[in-house]
Chains A and B, each alone.
Chain A
């Protein structure tokens, strides 16, 4: 506490108006870089996208871009993208949660730290390198494919292919499961040992503890993590783009083709409407995520 600040308090130690505005100014100045950053890189582009999505190629107001969102072939892309996000979230959330539980309940501090670092790296692996890793491992002539064949399991013979809807779900699991471990571990960590002991002292069985205490406490966290995974798979772009040729129709790829393709040049504003549709879907997933997350945090503190 500096002298200048001390002198601006009145005798009872209540801050005067001068200090209050001073404080506000200081807070505003501190926030300014963040606000400027958000303004330039988030709100301005978002507004530009929304504005253009309501225009036709001549800059006139139209709603046609949005009615197109519900027509074929975009409707198919919307369905496939939602399906992929849902499937990826289901397939990755459950093993991720189990893994997080095992690490938190059985693992020592050191193991926890190592897993946390590894998960941090894996959850951020994506794009072209991830696609290539899987092609090299589980592609038609991939090393893992070859190994499985050598031990008598011809996966491509059984109809498996990496370049399908479920192939993408598998590839996405590579970053989704570690992401689940990262976001779900704190919830398990917050489940206090004393509660389990208290329940046992009062005569509850292990199953009863989980049924009445553990699962109800963890469920909101699980749900919010699930929604995060959903949004993450819904918006993934580069991996699918590097791996596939458009026969698995996905919304982000369709936007990319309309904006940065070599064939279609007159539907840029449609791409913007698709982007707004994606923002809406993501918001629908993220708003409940934030609400649930806030509730879940109450008992974690």
Chain B
């Protein structure tokens, strides 16, 4: 029996059923098929898009942790402003899970939008691949750097982060650079957020260690050597850096994305701990941006497009807590320009938004959280997708035998 075929058949019949229902409902919404809409103009403008999205009333997102780049605020704000219920499937799941869900899940469980790593993207686009994503160009599409978007709008980069050092305030001396992690005072205290062959965050941490130890974006080997060295000296523990393990005292120093630091610091404070964060001065690596895309099988086509407009909005406006009942009565387009744009929400979470230049030019860039500044004179380096592929091959071959 071919399971895949059975699932596909079930999905296809569900889609067909949905189509019959849609056709048999007479309404003027039939004038615009939002699943085919490729930009705000063909969507009939912001008012029409908001109205159509509100009519759908729901948005399926997938693998968005609330404390990751402040996605929690983004979801709350979108939900409250437009009255659209958001379901977040498997918040801690991986990019592979997102792709698998699109390929195999029944129609009702299909995500509308995805947020995936560049490595995951490489595996699903290009010749011979099924087209997983819908083309849609957000209003600010032209301002997205061309190397981080598909020319037709099938996918686009949204934000990235910089690897920094999160450390418990009790460690002495306080680390300021990656080379400090060899300090014998840190015995058993240094951890990564996971296996670099499985997670982008620990993988980029190995890159940061490479840059700090004479390596380059084309040469990740010194990073592997560095972790081998601090593993041998006992500083590097095999424990996984998670909020639970940190609170239990399993480690005190970890390498992590700057956009996860505000959430971690708040969580630590709630548990009675004092966590600090610093960008190392000897190896500053910026990750490749995470990628947004609209699922070609999205069950809520208008809400999916409105979500992308919101995520790429360069506006400076109100957060969820500041929205008043009066604001909620505004027309769709006025409401849209009243709320904080998604790009600034990333900033509030400590991430670097892909439209940073546009925000700066428009003067709408808000202040990010404290303590996450790149040290003066340090150069921020970002691997290209090809460099990343070369790096991961080396890491996958050596990490298990480190």
Residue pair A156, B119 in contact (C-beta under 8 Å): no
**Known contacts A162-B239, A245-B192, A245-B239; A261/B199 CB under 8 A:** yes
Interface flag for A263 (CB, 8 Å): yes
Partner of A263, one of B199, B244, B250, B402: B199
Residues of A contacting B188 with CB < 8 Å? Answer: 140, 156, 161
Residue pair A245, B191 in contact (C-beta under 8 Å): yes
Residue pair B96, A261 in contact (C-beta under 8 Å): yes
Residue pair A244, B400 in contact (C-beta under 8 Å): no
Q: Give the A-B contact count at a CB cut-off of 8 A.
A: 141
Q: Of all chain B residues, which has the CB nearest A163?
A: B238
A150 to nearest B CB, angstroms?
15
Sample of 13 further A-B pairs with CB below 8 A, known A135-B245, A161-B238:
A76-B400, A140-B189, A142-B249, A164-B238, A243-B239, A247-B400, A248-B238, A259-B96, A260-B198, A262-B199, A263-B117, A264-B197, A264-B396
A69 to nearest B CB, angstroms?
13
| Residues of chain A from 214 to 264 with CB closer than 8 A to chain B in the complex | 242-249, 253-254, 256-257, 259-264
Grouping DSSP codes into helix (H, G, I), strand (E, B) and loop, the A interface class, with mixed when no group exceeds half, is: loop
Residue pair A254, B238 in contact (C-beta under 8 Å): no
Residue pair B3, A48 in contact (C-beta under 8 Å): yes
**Known contacts A77-B400, A246-B197, A254-B400; A262/B238 CB under 8 A:** no
Interface flag for B383 (CB, 8 Å): no
Residue pair A73, B401 in contact (C-beta under 8 Å): yes
30 A-B pairs within 8 Å (CB atoms) are namely A72-B401, A73-B400, A76-B400, A77-B400, A135-B245, A136-B248, A140-B251, A163-B237, A163-B238, A163-B250, A243-B239, A244-B195, A244-B240, A245-B195, A245-B202, A245-B238, A245-B239, A245-B240, A246-B197, A246-B198, A247-B400, A257-B197, A260-B93, A262-B95, A262-B120, A263-B117, A263-B203, A263-B392, A264-B197, A265-B120
Interface flag for B200 (CB, 8 Å): yes
| Residues of chain A from 255 to 292 with CB closer than 8 A to chain B in the complex | 256-257, 259-266
Partner of B398, one of A73, A242, A260: A73
Residue pair B195, A253 in contact (C-beta under 8 Å): yes
Bound form: Cα–Cα A126–B363 in Å: 53
| Residues of chain B from 99 to 120 with CB closer than 8 A to chain A in the complex | 99, 117, 119-120
Partner of A140, one of B117, B192, B238, B250: B250
A141 to nearest B CB, angstroms?
3
Interface flag for B317 (CB, 8 Å): no
Residue pair A247, B119 in contact (C-beta under 8 Å): no
Residue pair B123, A262 in contact (C-beta under 8 Å): no
**Known contacts A73-B397, A141-B248, A142-B249; A263/B196 CB under 8 A:** yes
Among B95, B99, B240, B395, find the residue whose CB has the most chain A CB atoms closer than 10 A. Answer: B240
A66 to nearest B CB, angstroms?
18
**Known contacts A140-B249, A262-B117, A264-B396; A242/B240 CB under 8 A:** yes
Interface flag for B143 (CB, 8 Å): no
Interface flag for A94 (CB, 8 Å): no
Q: Of all chain B residues, which has the CB nearest A165?
A: B238
- Chain B interfacial positions (CB closer than 8 Å to A): 1, 3-4, 93-97, 99, 117, 119-120, 122-123, 128, 188-189, 191-192, 194-200, 202-203, 231, 236-240, 242, 244-245, 248-251, 392, 395-402
Bound form: Cα–Cα A161–B251 in Å: 12
Residue pair A263, B197 in contact (C-beta under 8 Å): yes
B379 to nearest A CB, angstroms?
24
Q: Of all chain A residues, which has the CB nearest B95?
A: A262
Residues of B contacting A102 with CB < 8 Å? Answer: none
Residue pair B250, A141 in contact (C-beta under 8 Å): yes
**Known contacts A253-B195, A265-B120; A135/B239 CB under 8 A:** yes
Residue pair A262, B119 in contact (C-beta under 8 Å): yes
Residue pair B239, A163 in contact (C-beta under 8 Å): yes
Residues of A contacting B191 with CB < 8 Å? Answer: 245
| Residues of chain A from 143 to 199 with CB closer than 8 A to chain B in the complex | 156, 161-164
Residues of B contacting A266 with CB < 8 Å? Answer: 123
Residue pair A262, B239 in contact (C-beta under 8 Å): no
Bound form: Cα–Cα A45–B194 in Å: 28
Among A45, A164, A264, find the residue whose CB has the most chain B CB atoms closer than 10 A. Answer: A264
Residues of A contacting B392 with CB < 8 Å? Answer: 263-264
Bound form: Cα–Cα A131–B117 in Å: 28
Bound form: Cα–Cα A264–B394 in Å: 12
Residue pair B238, A263 in contact (C-beta under 8 Å): no
Residues of B contacting A253 with CB < 8 Å? Answer: 195
Bound form: Cα–Cα A187–B228 in Å: 48
Contact with B along A113-147 (1 / 0, CB 8 A): 00000000000000000001001100111100000
Bound form: Cα–Cα A41–B61 in Å: 28
Residue pair A260, B97 in contact (C-beta under 8 Å): yes
Q: Of all chain A residues, which has the CB nearest B1?
A: A44
**Known contacts A141-B250, A245-B195; A262/B401 CB under 8 A:** no
Residues of B contacting A132 with CB < 8 Å? Answer: 244-245, 248
Q: Of all chain A residues, which has the CB nearest B245?
A: A135
Among B200, B238, B395, find the residue whose CB has the most chain A CB atoms closer than 10 A. Answer: B238
Residues of A contacting B198 with CB < 8 Å? Answer: 246, 256-257, 260-264
Q: Of all chain B residues, which has the CB nearest A253?
A: B195
Bound form: Cα–Cα A156–B237 in Å: 12
Residues of B contacting A263 with CB < 8 Å? Answer: 117, 119, 196-200, 203, 392, 395-396
Partner of B249, one of A73, A141, A254, A265: A141
A299 to nearest B CB, angstroms?
43
